[in-house]
Amino acid sequence: MFIFHQFSMQFMDLYTKFGNVDEMTQNAATTLLFVTTSIRMVNFYWNRMRYVNIINTLHDGLIQMMSSQDEQAKLIIASEMRYMKRLTKAFWICALITGNLMCFHSAIQSTSFPPVILRSWFPFVDHWKYFWVIYGIQYYIMNIGMLIVPCWHSFIVSIMIFVIIRLKFLSLELCKMKENSSGGSFSNIELVKCVNERQKIGEFVMEVSSLISPALFLDFIIFSILLCALLFQATQVDAGVQFAIILFYILTMTTILWMYYNHANEITFHSDQLSLSAYKCSWYDYSLNFNKQLLLFIASSKPIKIASYSYFTLLTQLVSK
């Protein structure tokens, strides 16, 4: 409730300062962030059961992969877990420094004039009289934001890393695949298993993509505008706490974009590697029938993509033209 109240108050402030570029850019950074956060909250609530199914799939898949006795598989999952922990800590530290610097800066400035943590409109003529009320509300909202934003982005990126782990596991299975037909069947058991696993990964990515792609695409548009506003602000302030806040804000936004598009690219890259992994098996020792099926698998393999990343690359291609 407080977040939606702050959301409306910031738009009121934007309306009252319309035409003043400096005032509007100071407001834009947090207002645009509240827009994307609100949209995510509504999207998550509306599709909560689909998200629950994704979480259950992730949980079951991790348990299954962690039970593997293959040493290479254990190294893959241990490496990715360490990477995710380091990434989450770094992102959280960056977000917390940004938010707390804004709170600290406003508290220090209150010795000379009544500032607010977030640029927003309040129906008070005497801001000094209600300063601590305004400050308390915004401090509470800022802390909610510092909890929601890193949690959400870390959650989505962890899903992407889960897909990357599954693709690496599948590549490992394809490299070690052997001809293993049953009952005179022309279908190779291990190859069929790999084909089914790849299909499941593709379906999982499509489900995740359908849920998060609109929000991620909106993030890309809004964060681009936001970064422009922050860079403009950086040219208008002297070196100090305010300049540090802007720098950490820019770092946080670029980190979010990097996390999404880098890991989306990793998913595409590792799905492309499946054909190469299949070729690395000892196909030259196996039957012609096996080789035909293997060739069919390699020829029919298409890269798995997060749709938002496709939008991003499409925009990049349009700009380059």
SS3 123: coil
pTM for this entry: 0.84
Range with top average pLDDT, 34-38, 124-128, 268-272: 268-272
Residue 314 has pLDDT above 90, yes or no: no
Residue 87 has pLDDT above 70, yes or no: yes
What does the alpha-carbon distance between residue 244 and residue 225 come to, in Å, rounded to a whole number?
Answer: 20
CB atoms within 10 A of CB 41: 14
- Give Cβ neighbours of residue 177 (< 8 Å, ≥ 6 apart): 188, 190, 191, 194, 278, 281
What does the alpha-carbon distance between residue 264 and residue 56 come to, in Å, rounded to a whole number?
Answer: 21
CA distances from 260 to 34, 50, 251 (A): 19, 20, 14
Number of domains the chain is built from: 1
What does the alpha-carbon distance between residue 93 and residue 154 come to, in Å, rounded to a whole number?
Answer: 12
C-alpha Rg value of the chain to the nearest Å: 25
Among 208, 162, 207, 173, smallest CA distance to 297 is for 173
Q: Are 38 and 215 in contact (CB under 8 A)?
A: no
Among 152, 148, 154, 158, smallest CA distance to 58 is for 158
43-67 pLDDT, tens digit each: 888 999 999 999 999 999 999 999 8
For residue 277, what are the domain limits? 2-320
The residue with tokens 């259950």 is: 56
